[in-house]
Homo-oligomer: A and B are copies of this chain.
Amino acid sequence: MFEFPLEKHPAAFSSNAIDRLTALFSRLPGLGKKSAGRLVYHILDTDASFARILGEELLALHGAIKRCSRCGAYTEADPCSICSDPARDPVICVVERAQDVRVIEEFREFRGRFHVLGGVIAPLEGVNPDNLTIGELLSRVREEHIREVILATNPTLEGDTTALYIQKILKDTGVEITRLASGLPVGGDLEYADRLTLSRSFRGRIRL
């Protein structure tokens, strides 16, 4: 029977194109080295046309998609289809990132406009109010005769801080300012709720 050598030897097998693509994929969120490798082998096992189409779409992506100069969402046309739709209500939903626009659009119950902050206030990470599009939001509230601003930053310490800051900035405009409800997720279990969520659900309780 074959005997294993006591000394380890360097692996002679190395396909550079595979290694490079694996390294690139593993830089994407949620993909470790193993899952990135699995993607590359899957693409190799698949018809070459798939890799070609995927490659071409990636090469074209940044050219095709820009940020809407008004709301900051990713869009092919500027201003985006939401900002240029006169039927949209004069309500602005303020979100942290461009992908949040998609999440709320897919939920299909909000028919107002959006404003992408580009992050949250996080002094330790060097993100100050000046780095966000808060000034632009203030201008829009006035120019677009907005009647309500819904603060939809995430229910985190930074998201809450940012919402509080925007609330102060917008105070003088007289616009109605609201914040998305925070509490127990639907279908959740009291037993598994963390203390902060439970505390929020008490403070935000609704009279029936």
Q: Which residue of the partner chain B has the closest CB to A25? A: B54
A148 touches B98 (CB 8 A): no
From B15, B55, B60, B61, give the contact of A74 (CB < 8 A): B15
A13 touches B101 (CB 8 A): yes
Instruction: Enumerate A19-56 residues with CB–CB distance to B below 8 Å.
Output: 20-21, 24-25, 27-31, 35, 37-45, 48, 50-56
B12 touches A76 (CB 8 A): no
From B12, B30, B41, B52, give the contact of A59 (CB < 8 A): B52
B59 touches A8 (CB 8 A): no
| Residue A137 interfacial (CB < 8 Å) | no
| Residue A89 interfacial (CB < 8 Å) | yes
Q: How many angstroms from the CA of A91 to the CA of B82 in the assembled complex?
A: 64
| Residue A2 interfacial (CB < 8 Å) | yes
Mark each residue of chain A from 58 to 99: 1 if its CB lies under 8 Å from any CB of chain B, else 0.
Answer: 111110110000000111100011100100010100000111
| Residue A124 interfacial (CB < 8 Å) | no
Q: How extensive is the interface on chain A, given as a class? A: 35 or more
| Residue A136 interfacial (CB < 8 Å) | no
Number of copies of chain A assembled together: 2
From B29, B30, B42, B109, give the contact of A4 (CB < 8 A): B109
B5 touches A109 (CB 8 A): yes
Which residues on the B side are within 8 Å of A138 (C-beta)? Answer: none
Q: A11-B105, A13-B102, A61-B43 are in contact. Are A112 and B18 (CB under 8 A)?
A: no
Q: Which residue of the partner chain B has the closest CB to A38? A: B29
Distance in Å from the Cβ of A11 to the closest Cβ of chain B? 5
Q: How many angstroms from the CA of A42 to the CA of B98 in the assembled complex?
A: 10
From B18, B56, B82, give the contact of A65 (CB < 8 A): B18
